[in-house]
Structure 1
Amino acid sequence: MDSKLLLGAAAGIIVAVGGMAVAQRYSAQSAADTEAAAKAAEAAREADAYADVRRVNPVMEQVRTPRKDCEQVTVNKRLPERDGNVGGTLIGAVVGGALGNQVGRGNGRKAATVAGAVAGGVVGHELDKRHQGGRVVTSTETRCREVADVSDRVVGYDVTYNYKGRDYTTRMDYDPGERIRVEPTVQPVGESAR
């Protein structure tokens, strides 16, 4: 074989290998640059996806919880008469009969005695009903009434935040802290610019 041909082939192989190495190096550098650029763009998007919180105000609601409030109270009660209010009727009948017996003679006296006993019994019964007899006793009773305990409960948070130079307000279920995540391409739903 000719030495020039061998020398030319060797030089061609060296140039090809060197060209591949250079291409690979620039390709790797280009990929690294592309990856770094993608990371920088992602970081910029992430930075745009957050806004600084200016104010957080808890939204309160009053809650009424019903319950029974019971207490022991001392009560005075009058016990009923031992004879069941019969004593006045009997005494009235005896007195009325004795007075009726003083009137008239014979059968008239008997009729007056019976009429006096009946009238005296009725009057004695009526007086006995009005009589506040019986012993007074003291007892303890439980008396209850319905009351409502009122307490405040946090039902949400009104959050004011600044996004790209404008203030927005939204209601959230939780306190977001110092920063809030927002969608950079879409204006958040239910929020108004100030």
Structure 2
Amino acid sequence: MKQLLTATVLLTGVLSVQAQTMIDTARVRSAEPQYETTRVPRQECTNRWQPERGGRHSQVYQEQEQYQERNQDAERRYGGAIVGGLAGGVLGNQVGAGNGKVAATAIGAVLGAFAGDHLDNRNARPAPPPAYPAQVYQTGGREGNRCQTVYETQSELTGYQVVYEYRGQNYSTFMRNNPGNRLKVRVSVEPIQE
């Protein structure tokens, strides 16, 4: 019996030492939104005309490429124009008399220069571009997509850093939602053992 009485007294003492809690309200001083920044990938595509390679269309593209290569490699020579101009001037000088002789010399020099230039540069001159019917270009390809991955920066609201005041003391906590002007707080009262 004495042991039961001692156990009851000890249990009552332990229960009275435990902290007591209550709910009160505190005044919110600030609630700063907190964001998390993330990089989100997305596909960005553009439409492009892609020529088909094959059949008649392939031949058209090959001829166009050959034409461009010929024109890039062509070098003009001027020796034929000079020799032709001199020869044409001499021949023109043999025709006519007086002012007609001067005009014939000038015309002979010009015509001789053109003829000499043509003979000297006949292989170096750019050939005219190949001519093809319009339908070759209209049906010579298809529209295709070219895509690449780009990253966008996005900010997402994760919560609020809340500063609140309770009985003259400032406290800070993180909350998922904005609490407004007032915040419920749990207050714990516990005796200090000396």
The TM-score range, normalised by the shorter chain, is 0.3 to 0.5
Would you tell me which structure has more helix in proportion to its own residues? 1
Q: Which has the higher contact order (CA 8 A, sep 6+)?
A: 2
Q: TM-score, normalised by structure 2?
A: 0.41
Structure exhibiting the larger radius of gyration computed from Cα positions: 1
Calculate the TM-score normalised by the size of structure 1. Answer: 0.41
